[in-house]
Structure 1
């Protein structure tokens, strides 16, 4: 498999949110079409509905971890634990690289977000936000963690 980091960044720069960009770049590997992937991951953007909580890129990674080794058996505590360990490992790597997994901290915002309305994507938006770089980092973590044995 070729790297899809640039595909994730391209999706973000097309106007999809951070979670959508990360999740949709890899969803086809789990037989999920792009439209469905974009719908599933939509609400996680902007730190969960633009509330600036857990970064949408981390949510996208978490969704992919669930597709990779999620637990469909409610009684299988070991499988649940293994998935949680995978999610924690990916989130910790993201945190080591960025200092946080929390959207408002990553954006340097001092007050809570009050509006659900997304900002217009202008050149100034991309200049003041680290989001495209965060999408790239999250996608690289996904590749290193979930698809390492499948990379060209």
Structure 2
């Protein structure tokens, strides 16, 4: 695979700075989608924690969907057919890697029960007990591989 590992590193850097999973993935592809990172961070802000910490679809997966939509879909109503197919294919890879695309299932029962709208503090213990960083990196890798395979760099 010749994809650029910088995407994984960028996504991880955003996550370690305190951005959520969706923000970390979307902002890593700012140059490719032609949108400033600040705009992507705002756009994806509510998607962290499985959609506003409701623990639904993993934020990294949601971020992956945003980037793929920006890169591969057009503004016609028919664009969704191909977009769905692409996003589903990468979701299946993500699910194969982690067992699920659902935040609560990825986090496990103890953490999944925390659906408070207030994010928890990012401590060493936080990073030890969650696979979020790995999910963020893997989602970025999947998008980067897709871009590389398609030659879609802008």
| 2:66 match | 63
Alignment pair present for 1:141 and 2:142: yes
What root-mean-square deviation, in Å, do the aligned CA atoms of Structure 1 and Structure 2 show?
1.7
- Output the TM-score relative to the length of structure 2: 0.89
Q: Give, in whole Å, the separation in 1 of the partners of 2:148 and 2:44.
A: 20
Gaps of 5+ in 2: none
> How far is the alpha carbon of 1:149 from its aligned partner?
4.4
Whether contact under 8 Å (1:18, 1:57) holds in the other structure is: yes
2:42 is matched with 39
Give the aligned partner of residue 125 of structure 2: 124
Q: In 2, distance between residues paired with 1:120 and 1:112?
A: 16
Cα contact 2:26–2:67 (8 A) shared by 1? yes
SS in 2 for 1:147: helix
TM-superposed deviation, 1:148: 2.8
**Structure 1 counterpart of 2:29, from 4, 26, 30:** 26
Give SS of 1:51's match. Answer: coil
Asked whether the equivalents of residues 15 and 121 of structure 1 are also in contact (C-alpha less than 8 Å), the reply is: yes
Q: Counterparts of 1:9 and 1:93 in 2: how far apart (Å)? A: 19
TM superposition score normalised by structure 1 = 0.90
Contiguous gaps of at least 5 residues in structure 1: none
Cα distance change on mapping 1:2 and 1:146 into 2, 3 Å: closer
